């Protein structure tokens, strides 16, 4: 099991109402909801030692409720819940699916509008994940 599918398994174990996908967004979010997509970044991140860790990228795409401008709030709220599950700076070696995680550090985030979808927002999170 690779790190992306392991993290998807970990999020799904939390009983998410939002769809969680690996590698790409298979469906658009319904009005007033979000879709979570996990991928790997193209590079590895240098840790505080000489080790490097793979970088897990989480994209939370949200669509506003009909007639409202609340997609940003939806994307941020769902991304905050993702961060609460995946950010484990000294995690006690939890197992995500079949992958033992030594630490998972939230390393950055961003917020942007989704091109071609008026009112939609995407919240991105990046985690440096050290596995055994």
Whichever domain contains 80, its CATH number is 3.30.2000.10
- The pLDDT of 99-122, averaged and rounded, is 87
Instruction: Answer whether 93's CB lies under 8 Å from 100's CB.
Output: yes
Radius of gyration of the chain, Cα coordinates, nearest whole angstrom: 15
- Per-residue pLDDT at 1 exceeds 80: no
- Band of residue 48 on the pLDDT scale cut at 50, 70, 90: low
- Per-residue pLDDT at 3 exceeds 90: no
- Per-residue pLDDT at 105 exceeds 60: yes
Q: Which domain, by its residues, includes 72?
A: 3-131
Dist CA 47 CA 54 (whole Å): 10
- The pLDDT of 84-103, averaged and rounded, is 80
Residue 46's Cβ-side half-sphere holds a number of Cα atoms within 13 Å equal to 3
Torsion of CA 117, 64, 85, 90, to 10 degrees: 60
- The structural domain count of the chain equals 1
- Residues sharing a CB contact under 8 Å with residue 13, sequence separation 6 or more, in sequence order: none
């Amino acid at each position: 099991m690779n790190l992306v599918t392991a993290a998807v398994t970990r999020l799904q174990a939390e009983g998410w109402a939002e769809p969680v996908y690996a590698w790409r967004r298979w469906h658009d979010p319904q009005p007033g909801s979000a879709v979570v997509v996990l991928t790997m970044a193209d590079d590895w991140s240098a840790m505080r030692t000489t080790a490097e860790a793979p970088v897990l990228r989480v994209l939370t795409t949200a669509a506003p409720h009909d007639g409202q401008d609340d997609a940003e709030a939806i994307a941020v709220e769902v991304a905050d819940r993702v961060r609460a599950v995946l950010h484990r700076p000294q995690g006690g070696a939890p197992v995500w699916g079949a992958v033992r995680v030594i630490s998972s550090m939230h390393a950055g985030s961003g917020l942007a509008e989704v091109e071609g979808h008026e009112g939609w927002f995407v919240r991105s999170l990046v985690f440096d994940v050290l596995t055994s």
